Amino acid sequence: MKEELAVFEKVKTMFGGIEYILPGLDRLKKTEFQFPVSKPNKTERPFNDFLPPSPDFFQDGAQSLNSNNQGSAGDCDWLGDYGISQMFLAVETLYSDVLVTEFIAKLEKNSRSKVSFSSFKDLDGERQRVGDYSFPMSLVSTANAIMDAHGDVTKNSHFSPPVVENIYVFFCAAIKEMGDLSLKQVTEDTMLKWRDAIMDAKRSGCDVEFAWKHLETIAYAYFGLKARNYRISLEQKMANLMAEEKSLRQQLEKKEEEVKAVKGKEEELTSLQCKMCQDCVDRFLDKNVGLFG
């Protein structure tokens, strides 16, 4: 049993035992507080005010997801062109500062845009004019909301109206999609797509810094959720290890009591009377016990 406990301790050391998990849990709890949802500037209307309602966006109780993590299969085909898996696998719940740093660097990198009309849903069909541009009917409310909150964000653009219109349509599509998804539905793939749409607007001279800051907040919240999931996973693992350790220690205590009982029996074999009995046995061992042999 002592050997089994020693092996158990070795396994805990290799794979993260209780004493290794507890510091990690404390670190993850601190990490969650490092990635809060930022408060809007008092002089600026909160960005979420003009997005379609999504009350559970930054909450843990989002709707359950299918294997593609995007609702029904028909709803997720348009999210898959950025080379990052959208499957919410167990390994994706793992958190590390390195992952955050690497993704933020990737998000901020001035990469070539991959966004196109096929990147978003419902961009075809009838259009309606909002300001100087015409939008798919699915984006009219979003375009109006942006106009109400921030005015004409394209007024400083140095591109021609036809070029700006497409860029602005993609930008509005990204903003609308933010309001359609909960935090649990957001993937790195999705955020990179939003990055492309926002960066295209920025590069064209549009005043969309508010959207960029919001995207950064989403990215940090995304990893904050990973930290929370990882902490929950570690807490469960710690509980299992503690239960297993308790069981092993109880078994060890039982074995120790058995050892004590055996040692007590062994002591009885060292008495003078027992020695005399054992000496006599040699006279008859492998012989009959007759008087004359």
* Residue 235 confidence (pLDDT) above 80: yes
Contacts 24+ apart (CB under 8 A), 43-47: 44/210, 45/149, 47/149, 47/210, 47/211, 47/214
180, containing H or E segment: helix 161-180
For range 128-141, the mean pLDDT: 94
pLDDT, greater one: 86 or 176: 176
Residues making up the chain, counted from first to last: 293
Residue 121: partners with Cβ closer than 8 Å, 6 or more residues away: 75, 78, 138
Report helix, strand or coil for 37: coil
Rounded to whole angstroms, the Cα distance separating 27 from 37 reads 19
pLDDT, greater one: 15 or 168: 168
> Which band of pLDDT confidence, cut at 50, 70 and 90, is reported for residue 25?
low
* Residue 43 confidence (pLDDT) above 50: no
- What proportion of the chain, given as a percentage, has pLDDT over 90? 47
pLDDT, greater one: 62 or 183: 183
Q: What is the pTM of this model?
A: 0.58
204: left (phi over 0), alpha (psi -120 to 50) or beta: alpha
The residue type found at 83 is G
Give the model's pLDDT for residue 135.
95
Torsions phi, psi for 247 (to 5 deg): -65, -45
> Got the DSSP string for 203-230?
HTT---HHHHHHHHHHHHHHHHHHHHHH
Residue 21: partners with Cβ closer than 8 Å, 6 or more residues away: 234, 237, 238, 241
For range 253-278, the mean pLDDT: 89
> Which band of pLDDT confidence, cut at 50, 70 and 90, is reported for residue 206?
very high
Domain map of the chain by residue range? 2-235
For range 137-163, the mean pLDDT: 93
For range 3-12, the mean pLDDT: 55
* Residue 146 confidence (pLDDT) above 70: yes
Torsions phi, psi for 132 (to 5 deg): -90, 0
Give the model's pLDDT for residue 293.
60
Give the model's pLDDT for residue 65.
32
* Residue 194 confidence (pLDDT) above 60: yes
**Angle, CA of 144, 206 and 107, to the nearest 5°:** 105
Give the model's pLDDT for residue 38.
42
Rounded to whole angstroms, the Cα distance separating 263 from 3 reads 20
Query: Distance of alpha carbon 73 from its chain centroid, rounded?
Result: 22
